Each structure stands twice: as C-alpha cells, then as structure tokens.
C-alpha cells in the first residue's frame, strides 16, 4: 500500500519483531511479531490502546532497547545485534528521540541541552555551537536559548527537546506522545512544527492517542496486543475508522 506508492528507500525495516517481559511467573508479549517498513520522508503515526506495545516498539526503533527476537534494520544496517557501544553510536548519530516528559537537564541552558548530543559525538567546539544555534532557530526559540528549562513553558521545553533531537541531523525523528503533557493550543503549535519539519524532508514516527494528532501524518499504524492491527494511508484509515464507529452505533441501536 503506502510502501508501493512511495519509491523512497526503507529507512526502517523490522521483521517479526518480538519482545517479551518476564514478570514473576508471567510472560508478557509486549510485541508479538511486528513487521513493517518506514520509508524516507514518511510521516507515520502509531496508535493503539494503552499497553498495546507502542512505546516498546518506539524504544526498539530508537535503539533504547533490544527485541527478544526478530530483525531491525536502519538504513540497511542490522542494528539490534550490535554491541552496546555501537548501538549507542547509532542512537546518538542517526536517531532523534522526543519524549512526552521532555527529559531536559535542568541545570543547563536550552542551548547547552541542544548541544549535548554533539559533545557525545565528538563534534569540534566551534561547529557544535553553530549547529546547536541552528537547531534552536529551527524550532523558533532563538530568544530563549539562554534560559534554563524551569524558565520555559511546557511548549518551549518540548521545542528544546525537538531541537536536541534534530541537532545531529538524524535519519529518523521518533516522538512518543510528544504532546501528552501539553494543552490543546500548545499541542497544535508543536504539531505545526512537526509538519514543517516533515515538509523540509524529515522522516517522522509519532506515537499518539489523539486522532487530531494522527491526522497530521500520512500513514497510520494501529496496534493491538503487540501486533499491527492495520497500516493504512491516513485517508483510508479515516474511512475505516468512521465505518467502524457507524457499525458500533448500529450495534448499540443508536440512530
Ligand atoms: N519493563 C517492562 N517490564 C514488564 N512489562 C513491561 C515493561 N515495559 C512494558 N511492559 C508491558 O508491555 C506491554 C506494552 O507496553 P508499552 O509501554 O509498549 O505500551 P504502550 O502502547 O506504549 O501503552 P501507553 O499508551 O500506556 O503508553 C504492557 O502490557 C506493559 O505492561
Ligand atoms: Mg507508551
């Protein structure tokens, strides 16, 4: 479907991804055989009920975690079998991750927070400052660069986190409920920013509970019980969703 309509190469390819957690005597199948491709310049939204495996999938895609089995290739390179150090390099240089809770360092200025991934990447000092400033400009926070996180609003903090995610010019930008801690107006601003970044060519995967958020994407992947329930271009997903709602109304005997 989306894959054949989009001739760009796959930046992410996962095959039969599984992740199990053992809790006492119980085994939880957080991911139960996920197979999908994400192509360059796609804007993908992942949806699904709480506990359906969205964050587990994102953490594996972001090289923050490893699958129990299955294959993950990023730009054609198998990453889930890399050493911890090599995986950290991939995470640092090719992945931008945005969290619901921002995860900024409180004692550092916005600019310094954005610069941190470059320090870990051994980018020379002069280039670091320049790249961090550019990333701060891209998220329209130029006049707040010297502020510490507690001197910024929630939306501004998330902008700093997005600038930090972009500063290494990642292959893919991953965001797990990036508007989950923000009010409606601020969420809309952050989503506008994601749309702009997408228009500039950034590949994006975003996890969200909110249909409004997902409507900004091109493609919607719905998960249930650790599996992909559907994977459709946004227009088709909307049509299926409204059909499903109509069927539910009929079941309940509503008009
Ligand atoms: N570290 C862990 N140890 C044990 N079980 C876990 C762990 N992390 C996640 N799980 C379980 O795996 C399943 C998937 O969790 P996950 O966090 O991926 O869901 P989610 O779709 O992101 O949910 P939410 O929308 O609430 O964020 C859940 O049943 C969860 O309880
Ligand atoms: Mg989650």
Q: What is the DSSP string of 96-144?
A: EEEETT----TTS-HHHHHHHHHHHTT--HHHHHHHHHHHHHHTT-GGG
pLDDT tens digits for range 86-141: 999 999 999 999 999 999 999 999 999 999 999 888 889 889 999 999 999 999 99
Decide if 242 contacts 234 (C-beta within 8 A): no
Residue nearest to atom 28 of ligand 1 (CA): 51
Query: Looking up tokens 């998330």, which residue turns up?
Result: 158
Ligand 1 contact via 59 beta carbon (within 6 Å): no
Instruction: Give the three-class secondary structure for 24.
Output: coil
Query: Which regions of the chain does DSSP assign to beta strands (E)?
Result: 10-23, 26-39, 43-48, 69-74, 77-78, 95-99, 172-176, 203-207, 219-224, 227-233
pLDDT value at position 122? 83
- Round the average pLDDT of the chain to a whole number and report it: 92
Percent of the chain whose pLDDT exceeds 90:
82
Indicate left, alpha or beta for 169 from its phi (over 0: left) and psi (-120 to 50: alpha).
Answer: left
Question: Which candidate, 101, 151, 109, places its Cα nearest to that of 133?
Answer: 109
CA-49 nearest atom, ligand 1: 25
Angle of CA points 210, 73, 179, to nearest 5° = 20
Decide if 73 contacts 95 (C-beta within 8 A): no
Contacts of 25 (CB under 8 A, 6+ apart): none
Say yes or no to pLDDT of 51 above 50. Answer: yes
pLDDT value at position 6? 59
- Distance CA(195)–CA(216), nearest Å, equals 7
pLDDT value at position 242? 78
CATH code for the part of the protein at 2-252? 3.40.50.300
- Distance CA(84)–CA(77), nearest Å, equals 15
pTM reported for the whole predicted model: 0.92
Ligand 1 contact via 202 beta carbon (within 6 Å): no
Distance 50 CA to ligand 1 centre (A): 8
Name the CA radius of gyration of the chain, rounded: 19
């Amino acid at each position: 479907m989306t894959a054949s309509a989009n001739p760009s190469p796959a930046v992410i390819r996962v095959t039969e991804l599984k992740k199990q957690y053992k809790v006492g005597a119980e085994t939880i199948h957080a991911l139960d055989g996920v197979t999908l491709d994400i192509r360059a310049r796609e804007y993908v939204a992942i949806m699904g009920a709480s506990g359906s495996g969205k964050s587990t999938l994102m953490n594996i895609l972001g090289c923050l975690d490893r699958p129990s089995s299955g294959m993950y290739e990023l730009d054609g390179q198998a990453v889930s079998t890399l050493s911890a150090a090599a995986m950290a390099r991939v995470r640092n240089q090719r992945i931008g991750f945005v969290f619901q809770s921002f995860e900024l360092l409180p004692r550092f200025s916005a600019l310094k927070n954005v610069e941190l991934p470059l320090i870990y990447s051994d980018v020379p000092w002069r280039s670091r400052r320049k790249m961090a400033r550019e990333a701060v400009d891209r998220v329209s926070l130029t006049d707040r660069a010297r502020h510490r996180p507690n001197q910024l609003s929630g939306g501004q903090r998330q902008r700093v986190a997005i600038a930090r995610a972009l500063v290494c010019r990642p292959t893919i930008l991953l965001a797990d409920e990036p508007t989950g801690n923000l009010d409606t107006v601020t969420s809309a601003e952050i989503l506008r920013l994601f749309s702009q970044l997408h228009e500039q060519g950034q590949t994006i995967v975003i996890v969200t509970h909110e249909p409004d958020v997902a409507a900004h994407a091109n493609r919607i992947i719905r998960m249930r019980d650790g599996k992909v329930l559907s994977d459709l271009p946004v227009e088709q997903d909307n049509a299926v969703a409204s059909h499903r709602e109509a069927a539910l109304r009929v079941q309940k005997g509503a008009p």
